[in-house]
């Protein structure tokens, strides 16, 4: 089996000698090292609140927070939406979706969970910003199914 692998590599790489193929290291697949592990979200406590600026073509002031996660690792996390109420020692839920144009920011907070309030006045894309469905948009129940 080993000789068969070597011979196939010899035919594929015609410029390599037999001993060069023997010396060549075989690369195994690298696992992506995520702080989340197998979890979809992870909770953490805010240690620092600051504002970051995005990469070259974009120009803005994006709110980011430094979070000490429940697995004792610290990461910089983006706060989506307009305005927030985060301070030091606020508790947040972190997911693995970051801000593309912020260097080193690969995670974001989930609005409407723990201490981070939902964005006020949102009617569209509410699930991203933690806004509940307004009463006007709720389906009206037929009289037969109403609880009174």
CATH code for the domain of 100: 2.40.50.140
Pairwise CA distance, residues 2 & 25, whole Å: 14
Q: What is the pLDDT of residue 37?
A: 82
Q: Buried b vs exposed e over 119-130: b needs ≥16 C-beta within 10 Å?
A: beebeeebebbb
12 part of a folded domain: no
26 part of a folded domain: no
Can you give the residue range of the structural domain that contains 93?
41-133
98 part of a folded domain: yes
Q: What is the pLDDT of residue 59?
A: 92
**CA–CA distance from 88 to each of 2, 6, 45, 92 (Å)?**
59, 59, 8, 11
Low-confidence ranges of the chain (pLDDT < 70): 1-14, 25-33, 148
Q: What is the pLDDT of residue 136?
A: 72
Q: What is the pLDDT of residue 128?
A: 82
Instruction: Return the CA Rg of the chain.
Output: 25
Which two structure tokens, joined as six digits, stand for 61?
A: 């002031």
Q: What is the pLDDT of residue 130?
A: 85
141 part of a folded domain: no
Q: What is the pLDDT of residue 68?
A: 97
The total domain count for the chain is 1
72 part of a folded domain: yes
50 part of a folded domain: yes
Pairwise CA distance, residues 115 & 83, whole Å: 13
34 part of a folded domain: no
Q: What is the DSSP letter of 121?
A: T
53 part of a folded domain: yes
Handedness of CA 50, 90, 41, 31 (dihedral sign): positive
């Amino acid at each position: 089996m080993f000789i068969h692998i070597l011979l196939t590599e010899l035919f594929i790489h015609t410029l390599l000698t037999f001993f060069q193929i023997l010396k060549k290291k075989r690369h195994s697949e690298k696992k992506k090292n995520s702080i989340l592990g197998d979890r979809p979200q992870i909770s953490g406590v805010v240690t620092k609140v600051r504002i970051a600026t995005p990469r070259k073509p974009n120009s803005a002031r994006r709110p980011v927070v430094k979070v000490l996660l429940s697995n004792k690792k610290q990461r910089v996390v983006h706060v989506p939406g307009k305005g927030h109420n985060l301070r030091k020692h606020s508790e947040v839920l972190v997911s693995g979706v970051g801000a593309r144009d912020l260097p080193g920011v690969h995670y974001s907070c989930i609005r409407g969970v723990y201490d981070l309030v939902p964005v006020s006045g949102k009617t569209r894309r509410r699930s991203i910003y933690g806004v509940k469905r307004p009463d006007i948009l709720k389906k009206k129940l037929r009289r037969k199914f109403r609880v009174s």
